[in-house]
Copies of this chain bind each other. A is one copy, B any other.
Amino acid sequence: MANISVTVTFAAAQALLVALPAIADPLPSWNDTATETAIIQFVERVTDPASDNFMPAADRIAVFDNDGTLWSEQPAYFQGLYALDRLQEKANADPSILTSDALKAAAKGDMKGVMAGGMEGLIEILNVSHSGMSVDDFEADVREWLTTAKHPQSGLVYSDMTFQPMLELLTYLRDNDFTTYIVSGGGVHFIRAISEDAYGVPPQQVIGTEGKTLYQVVDGKPSLLKDGGISFVDDKAGKPVGIDRHLGKRPIFAAGNSDGDFEMLEWTTSGDGLRFGLIVHHTDAEREFAYDRDSHFGTLSKGLDEAAKRGWVVVDIAKDWSKVWSGKQ
């Protein structure tokens, strides 16, 4: 009798263990709100072969903006902060590189002066800080900076400021045979420096703004050199164009946070069959930052106005997320 009893208990424990993965919450850092429910319902529908909304795995393409969607973007895009850091180092070594007001402002860390230089000034800063080295050296330098330099307000290293709920969402989608892409206004080499480590997204699934790259052979050794200038801007209407250039397929799931993502959301959600559009709304000044219509970075206005009409789900960080950053807080 004793023996049989032990056997039954063991079988029950086994059954429980087998059942566990299905019971476990795939999105533990998402509160139990309508937002989480909407995401899970969408995934269950498109993956259920018996559902009218079923999509084969090859069509399960999900695209994610990066700045403000997968990690923070205040007080400025992290790539901009990296550019300023590196520009200051270069200027300390050789002040003659500061040939314009925007560059001089940047070297002093004067953000107002930088913004006054507009897009032209920003491109100058990127040119000086992001060129004259190989793609490999650049990515290694960015990786080092993102994992050691500290954010001025949070005190965290930048790579710890990815959003834990979004990492869970990426994993949840991949577990359901989605292919996850990053589609960012940021530079493709900058993001690739950590996309695999931080997000589980390999380099070939990163679409971004592209700087000019030059193939050169020096002493018989070929390399790819980051040259000055920008050859493709992956923002606003550039996002569907970038998706077409790289993917050649319309995604069925898109996540963004700013009006720079509007066209990507529009393009994704206007395709046939069930689609999902998600906007991350930064509402939590206590745990992260609160901003939308009037922000210099990540302005969100048209998206807020049209989300309901277009059936896009708006994430309210303060209410929907139980944890914000992936790193210690």
**Residues on A facing B (Cβ under 8 Å):** 58, 135, 188-189, 192, 202-204, 206, 210, 213-215, 217, 221-222, 224, 231-232, 237-238, 240-241, 244-249, 263, 266-267, 270
Q: Which residue of the partner chain, among B188, B221, B238, B267, contacts A222 with CB atoms under 8 Å?
A: B267
Query: Mind listing 27 A-B residue pairs with CB under 8 Å?
Result: A58-B202, A135-B244, A188-B245, A188-B248, A189-B248, A192-B248, A203-B247, A203-B248, A203-B249, A204-B204, A204-B247, A204-B249, A206-B248, A213-B241, A214-B237, A214-B241, A215-B240, A215-B241, A217-B266, A222-B240, A222-B263, A222-B266, A222-B270, A224-B241, A231-B231, A231-B232, A246-B246
Count identical subunits in the complex.
2
Hey, which chain B residues are within 8 Å of A192, CB to CB?
A: 248
A151 to chain B, nearest CB (A): 26
Residues of B within 8 A of A263 (CB): 215, 222
Q: How far is the CB of A321 from chain B (nearest CB, A)?
A: 30
Known: A188-B248, A204-B246, A214-B241. 9 other contacts (CB 8 A): A204-B247, A206-B248, A215-B241, A215-B267, A222-B267, A224-B240, A224-B241, A224-B244, A231-B232
Q: How far is the CA of A224 from the CA of B267 in the complex (A)?
A: 9
A224 and chain B: residue at smallest CB distance: B244
Chain B hits for A244, CB < 8 A: 135, 213, 224
Instruction: Find chain B residues with CB under 8 A from A245 CB.
Output: 188, 210, 213
Closest 4 CB pairs of A and B: A203-B248, A215-B237, A215-B240, A204-B247
